[in-house]
Structure 1
């Protein structure tokens, strides 16, 4: 087990993602680039980018949208697939959006492929 968003966690996620091969990313998400700043992670704030359906470390200069949210909310939405938590977080101000909000709507309506669901399950199992 690795602490969520720790360096060890990112290293293990990179290994699992590489081993997973083609994730059959939905077309609406495949071309999307969105920056994410996560607060409350074990090592403080963490900058990520959602790029083509995969998370990468650091922000991407080509992103036109940025999400700011707490680590527990990121875990619920992306790893546990809890869409209701995302809506609740947005409505209560826990999730802040800067830039093109239509990207967030696209992301909300996209359904993960079976390959993505299997990868998310593996990631969740290694996450402390």
Structure 2
């Protein structure tokens, strides 16, 4: 899964206002890195403030609100995204993603 985060503060990403990351589960673990997968099943695009609320603050209500408001856009196979959500306990996913995003943006 590719993630595109827009409206990134310049200080966070070396002057770039778009941050591209990916989550790869093909090896059995969740791996998150900078960049993008060539053959990603889906791409999720959101703004920095929403990504921060979701992944760092782990505010799931903000995620639902953002999705309903059109701040989260999904292109590709929604079934893959839903499968990723059920593949691991939500707390484990949230902790892994939050740690990876903190590492990338710090």
The normalised TM-score by structure 2 is: 0.70
Count of residues in Structure 1 that have an aligned counterpart in Structure 2: 92
**Corresponding residue for 1:105?**
82
Runs of 4+ displaced beyond 4 Å = 107-110, 121-124
* Distance in 1 separating the partners of 2:35 and 2:2: 8
* Distance in 2 separating the partners of 1:93 and 1:106: 22
* Distance in 1 separating the partners of 2:40 and 2:19: 16
**Equivalent runs, 1:50-69 vs 2, <5 Å:** 50-52=23-25, 53-69=30-46
SS in 2 for 1:55: strand
Q: CA RMSD in A?
A: 2.8
5+ residue gaps, structure 1, are 1-33
The normalised TM-score by structure 1 is: 0.59
Question: 1:42-91, CA deviations, whole angstroms, 9 ceiling, x for partnerless residues?
Answer: 22111110123232111111311000100111111112111111111111
For the pair shown, the structure with the greater C-alpha radius of gyration is: 1
**1:107 Cα deviation after fit:** 4.2
**Corresponding residue for 2:19?**
46
5+ residue gaps, structure 2, are 10-15
